[in-house]
Amino acid sequence: MRYQWTAFVERFRCALLGHLRNRLSLFLVYAFVPTWLTLVRVCGYDGAARLHIATIEVRAVVPAMHVAQVTNAVTAVALITGFMMFMAAFKAREMDRRLVLAGYPRSQLVLANVGALLVIAAVLACYTTVLLRLFFPVHQFGHLLVAVFTAGCAYGGIGLLLGILVRDELEGFFVVLMLSLIDVGLQNPVIKVAELPGLLKALPSYGATQSALAAAVTRADPGPYPLLALAWCGATVALALLVFHVRTRGYWPAAAASRPAGSRDGTPAVADT
């Protein structure tokens, strides 16, 4: 148990250092969100909009500018977290495979990436929620923070899975980008998807976006709907662990004792999984 904890801590530390050392990406990330929200504020429609939050069946007339800023903030955090986790997992997967060969447990390597995902999503959610609070009076700051955090977790899990699964960087970027476009597009009130209500609820950021709107521009309780995004995160992380388990080879200490007598080297036995 102590060895597994040490493996988790070391890999978690390396994952965070990998993100912190990419200073240009961090600068672009933290410059993009305020720039994007400012552009939405300057170029957006400054009027009232009829908002229908389907998850809690609330209808309200709210400033259209606030709705646009909240939805774009949630999308920005989701995309940034997804891209960051994809690149981190994609670049580190060869090292992770070698660590497995050295005896590191697979589950601890994947869970370390999940820990880094939670930290990134939390930092981005706090940063973005504070920015939204500076643009307009947010009604429920805590609920908005949770909703933005869960949206980042959902796409961070998707990015982690793609980083382990796909074989080219362009494939991962394309999948994350197209999924976000579908996600945001189907939630556009102009598009009618009433015939398929289950389709909206299955979108990664649906519960988070609806809860973020409820928290930001109304005083209604957003409910437990951010858990839908956490369900996406849990499902993609579990699938990432399965794919990583299949694609790596494990070190089995018991196999070393049963290696052929003619083997003279001290190399530990390695078995395909």
Average pLDDT, integer, range 233-249: 90
**125 pLDDT exceeds 70?**
yes
Answer whether residue 270 shows pLDDT above 80.
Answer: no
pLDDT in tens, 72-93: 999 999 999 999 999 999 988 8
**Percent of the chain scored above 90 by pLDDT?**
44
Instruction: Tell me the C-alpha to C-alpha distance, in Å, between residue 57 and each of 103, 139, 184, 222, 246.
Output: 52, 18, 20, 10, 44
User: 25-51, pLDDT tens digit by residue?
Assistant: 788 788 899 999 999 888 877 788 788
Residue 25: predicted pLDDT: 74
Q: Which range (5-19, 142-156, 191-205, 217-231) has the least confidence?
A: 191-205
pLDDT interval class at 269 (50, 70, 90): very low
